[in-house]
Structure 1
Amino acid sequence: MGDPVLDHLRLIRTPGVGPVTYRQLIARFADPAAALAALPMLARRGGGQAPRIPDPAVVAQEIATVDRLGARHLFLGDPDYPPLLAELDSAPPVLIVRGDIALARRACVAIVGARNASAAACRFARGLAHDLAAEGVTIVSGLARGIDTAAHAGAMPHTIGVIASGIDIAFPPENAALQESVAERSLLIAEQPPGAQPLARHFPSRNRIIAALAIGTVVVEAAPRSGSLITARLANEAGREVMAVPGSPLDPRAQGCNLLIREGATLIQTAADVLEQIRPIDPRSVRAPALPFEAPPPADASDRERARVTALLGPVPVPVDELIRQSDLAPAVVQTILLELELAGRLERHAGGRVSG
C-alpha cells in the first residue's frame, strides 16, 4: 500500500494536473494511487501523451526539504486548510506554510497596491494595517515592494505573506529579512515547491490566493494595468468585498483605485470604513469549515462527444457552462472531456471557470 501523502503530492506535481483537475480526479477515483494509475489512459483519450508523473524519490526529497526548512505541506481537506480559500474551485490542492496557520482562520483583509508607491500611500497602508490588526483583523499581502511591504510592517505580527516563489526563495531580495520575520512571527504561504523561482506566470496564481484568503481586498494605490487590479478582480469574482483608497487624478498611481471606485468599489479612508464593510458578515464564515467541493459524478465520454466539445474550443477563453449549453451534453460528460484534454496538454484553464484550447 502506498503512502497517501506521497501519492497526493505526486498527483499534484504531475504536469497537466491543475487544481480543478486534481479535485475531479480525487472525486472520481477517491484514492490518489488509483488516480495516478489512470492518468496515462485519460491523457490518451484526450489525444495526448501520458504525463510525466514525478518519481517517488523526487517527491520524497521535496517533503524532506520542506521539513528541513521548518515548513509543512497543507493539503486541501486538512482541518487547518484556510476555509475561505477552500471555497474556490481553483483552491490550491496543497500549500507550503511556515508559521501560525491560525492567522488564516481569523477575519482577514488583503491590502495590496503599487510597488513604486508614493511615500504618502505607504504611510497610509502602514497605518491602515496597524489599525485593522489592533481590531483583531489579519492582514494579507504579497511581500512585494511598496504597499505590500508597508502593510506587513504595520500589521506585524498579525499578517500573512503569500509569495509567488518557493518557501525558501525571497523576492524581491531586499525583502528577505521581512519575509523571514513574517515566517517566524506570523505566517508565510507558498503554492510553488521549494526552489521555485518567482516566474511571471506565478504571480496571478499568488494573487488569487491573496484575494481568496480575505473577506475583502483594499487597493491603496495602483496603475490602471497592474497586479493589484488583478487581485481586486479575483476578489470580486470570488464574491468578496472590493475597497479602494481614492487618490489625486493627477497621479498615475491613483488611476487604478479611482477607476475601481467608479466601477463600484467601496471608497476607504479609515480602518473604520473597512470594518464597516466586513463586520456585517457572519463571523462563522471565517471559522466554520467550508463546504467541500462537489465534482459532478464521473461519466465516460464517446469519441463523438469528445469531438463535439473539442470543436467548440478555441484560443479565446469560454465559460465551461457555455460549453455545456452549446454541446448539449451532460455536465459530467463535458467535465470528463475537459479533464482528459487538460491531462493531454490540449486545454488551458483560466480564472472565472473559463477554458481555452
Structure 2
Amino acid sequence: MVTSSALNAHHDAEGAAWLRLLMTPGLSRSAARRLLAKAGSAQQVWLLSDTDLRECVTQVQAQAFAALPPKWPEPVERLQQWLSTPAADCFHAMVPLGHAQYPEALLQTEDPPLLLFVQGPLSLQQSGQPWFPYPQSLAMVGSRNPSAQGIVNAREMAQALAQQGLCIVSGLALGIDAAAHEGALKASYSGTAPLTIAVVGTGLDQVYPRAHQALAGQIARNGLVISEYPLGSEPRPHHFPQRNRIISGLSQGTLVVEATLKSGSLITARLASEQGREVFAIPGSIHAPQAKGCHALLRQGAKLVETAADILEELQGIKQPVAPTHKAQAAINTEAKNPLIQALGHDPMTLETLSERTGWDAAQLQAQLMELELDGLVARLPGGFYQHITRS
C-alpha cells in the first residue's frame, strides 16, 4: 500500500508499477490478475519473459503491455503529489489487490479492482482497524430523480441503520445516493468504522457531480471516498455501471429505495445477487414510475423493507461474504441438480403450475426463479409464464 505517510523509493516504484498495470490500454483486469499471479508482484510483472507473457495475455494485449501508457510518467507524478499532500485531517492512500487493507468482501467477487484509491479521516487510518467494515455494511441506491418521499425514506433509513453500526455504501450520485450519505452522516454512532462510503466513477482529485463538493468533503472526514480510477479520470458513462459492482461487493446487502425499470440501481441489485449478497427493496405507489423498479425486484424475490428493523433482522448473523460461483460452473451445477429446472421441463409454465409440481410457495419459487434468470437458465415470458432455456 502507498499512503501519504509512507513515501519512499520502494513504495514509489511499486506504486508506479501498479499504476502502469492499471493504465495500460487494452489490458483487462482479468489479464492483469493473471500477470500478477505469474509474477508475484507488480514490479516483477514488467520483468516477465516473452514466454511467460504469452501464457497470460493475448498477442494484442502483449503489444499494449510493451508500450507506456499515454503521457507517462505524468500519472505517476500526479499520484505522488496527491499522496504527499492530503487535505487537513484526512489521509490519501492507494491500496493494491492483495494488500492487508484491501477489502476481503471484494476478494470474494469475480472481478475485484486492481487498485483502490482511498480518502478518509486520519483517525480511521491511525486506529489500526480495517477500513472497510464488512460485514457491517449496506449498499443504498436508487433514482437520481426521486420523489420527496423517496428522499425522506433514504435519509431516515440510512440514519437509523448507521445508528446501529451499519456503514452505508453508495455512489455519491444525485438523488437517493446523496440522501443515503446525508442520512448516515447524521448518525451518532460512536464506533470506529466509517459512517458511509462513497464509491465514485472519477479520479479522487475531482468530484462528480460538482454540486456534491461539500458532501464529498464531509464523507472524507467521516467515512471513505474510494475509486478504482486513477487521478485525472473524468466521469465517463461506462464508469458508473462498472463502479456498481464495488458498491454491492463491499456490502452484505443492497437496498433499492426508488428506481424506474431502466434505473442503473437495478444493475447494482443484480450484481449483489450474483455476488451472493441480499437484495432489499422499498415498495411504493403502483402509480409512481420511481417505484416500478422496486416492485420488479420484489416480484423477483427481493426482500420487502418497511423499517430499518427489516434489514437488521435479515442481516443478523452474517459473518462473511458468500463467494460467488462462476456463472458457467453455476449453470452446469444448476441444470444437473436443481429440482426447479426439472419441474420446468421445456414448455412455458405458470407460477401456479410450478407450485403444484414442486410444492413450493410463491415466495420461494420467485426467489429461485430470479437466481435462474440471472444465470441465464430461465426466461420470463409475457402473461406470467417461465421457460427453461437450454444451453448448448
Q: Give TM-score, length-normalised by structure 2.
A: 0.69
Judge conservation of contact 1:114–1:253 (CA < 8 Å) in 2. Answer: yes
8 Å CA contact retained: 1:103, 1:160 = no
Alignment of 1:119-134 (within 5 A): 119-134=148-163
Match of 2:143 among 114, 117, 130: 114
State which structure, 1 or 2, has the greater radius of gyration over its C-alpha atoms.
Answer: 2
Written as runs of structure 1 = structure 2, the 5 A alignment for 1:189-200 is 189-200=226-237
What residue number does 2:36 align with? 26
Matched, 1:104 2:132: yes
2:107 to 78, 86, 89: 86
- Contact kept? 2:79, 2:231, Cα under 8 Å: no
* Aligned twin of 1:338: none
Give SS of 1:71's match: strand
Map Cα deviations across residues 62-117 of structure 1 (whole Å, 9 max, x no partner): 32133134521011111111111121131111000000474522411001000100
1:257 maps to which residue?
294
CA distance in 1, matches of 2:213, 2:100: 30
Q: Distance in 2 between matches of 1:321 and 1:279?
A: 29
Q: Name stretches of at least 5 consecutive residues in structure 2 with no aligned partner.
A: 1-8, 186-193, 333-373, 376-392
Residue 167 of structure 2 contacts residue 195 of structure 2 at CA under 8 Å; is this kept in 1? yes
- The 1:207/1:48 distance shift into structure 2, 3 A limit, reads closer
User: Is the contact between residue 160 and residue 187 of structure 1 (CA under 8 Å) also seen in structure 2?
Assistant: yes
Name the CA distance, whole Å, in 2 between partners of 1:112 and 1:122: 11
Specify the SS of the correspondent of 2:46: helix
Q: Identical aligned pairs, as a percentage?
A: 38
Residue 236 in structure 1 maps to residue 273 in structure 2: yes
Q: Is it true that 1:183 corresponds to 2:220 in the alignment? A: yes
Tell me, what secondary structure is at the counterpart of 2:68? coil
Go from structure 1 to structure 2 and tell me whether the alpha carbon gap of 1:255 and 1:53 turns closer, same or farther (over 3 Å shift): same
Q: Secondary structure at the match of 2:38?
A: helix
Q: Residues 118 and 6 from structure 1, CA distance in 2 versus in 1: closer, same or farther, beyond 3 angstroms?
A: same
2:314 aligned with 1:277, yes or no?
yes
| Bigger mean CA offset, 24-33 vs 223-232 | 24-33
Distance 2:60 2:218 in 1: 48
Counterpart of 1:72 in structure 2 is 93
Deviations 1:263-317 (A, max 9, x none): 00000011000011111312xx27xxx99x9xxxxxxxxxxxxxxxxxxxxxxxx
Counterpart of 2:74 (choices 28, 50, 58) is 58
Distance 1:94 1:184 in 2: 21
Deviation at 1:32, TM superposition (A): 2.7
CA 1:239/1:319 → structure 2, altered by over 3 Å: closer, same or farther?
closer
Equivalent residue, structure 2, for 1:341 = none
CA contact (8 A) 1:211 1:232 kept: yes
Using a 3 Å threshold, how does the CA distance of structure 1 residues 45 and 273 change in structure 2: closer, same or farther?
A: closer
- Establish whether residue 6 from structure 1 lines up as the match of residue 27 from structure 2: no
| Alignment partner, residue 266 of structure 1 | 303
For the 8 Å contact 1:163–1:206, the answer to whether it is kept is: yes
Q: CA, structure 1 residues 39+320, in 2 after alignment: closer, same or farther (shift >3 Å)? A: farther
Quote the Cα distance in structure 2 between the aligned partners of 1:65 and 1:205: 27
- SS of structure 2 residue aligned to 1:98: strand
Does structure 2 retain, via aligned residues, the 8 Å contact 1:129–1:139? yes
Q: Which has the higher contact order (CA 8 A, sep 6+)?
A: 1
Which among 252, 264, 273 is matched to residue 215 of structure 1?
A: 252
Residue 44 to residue 126, structure 1, CA distance change in 2 (3 Å): closer
How many residue pairs align between the two structures?
A: 295
1:26 Cα deviation (Å)? 1.0
Answer yes or no: is the 8 Å Cα contact 2:31–2:57 preserved in 1.
Answer: no
TM-score, normalised to structure 1's length?
Answer: 0.75
Deviation at 1:193, TM superposition (A): 1.1
What do you get for the CA RMSD once the two structures are aligned?
2.9
Residue 37 of structure 1 and its aligned partner are, at CA, apart by: 4.1
Distance 1:280 1:38, change over 3 A: same
C-alpha distance in structure 2 between counterparts of 1:45 and 1:118, whole Å? 48
2:197·2:226 contact (CA, 8 Å) conserved in 1?
A: yes
Greater mean deviation of Cα atoms: 164-173 or 98-107: 98-107
Deviates most, 63-72 or 167-176: 63-72
- Cα distance, 1:261 vs. partner? 0.2
- For residues 28-59 of structure 1, the C-alpha deviation after alignment (integer angstroms, 9 at most, x for no partner) is 12243342244975399535671133376334
CA contact (8 A) 2:19 2:76 kept: no
2:337 is matched with: none
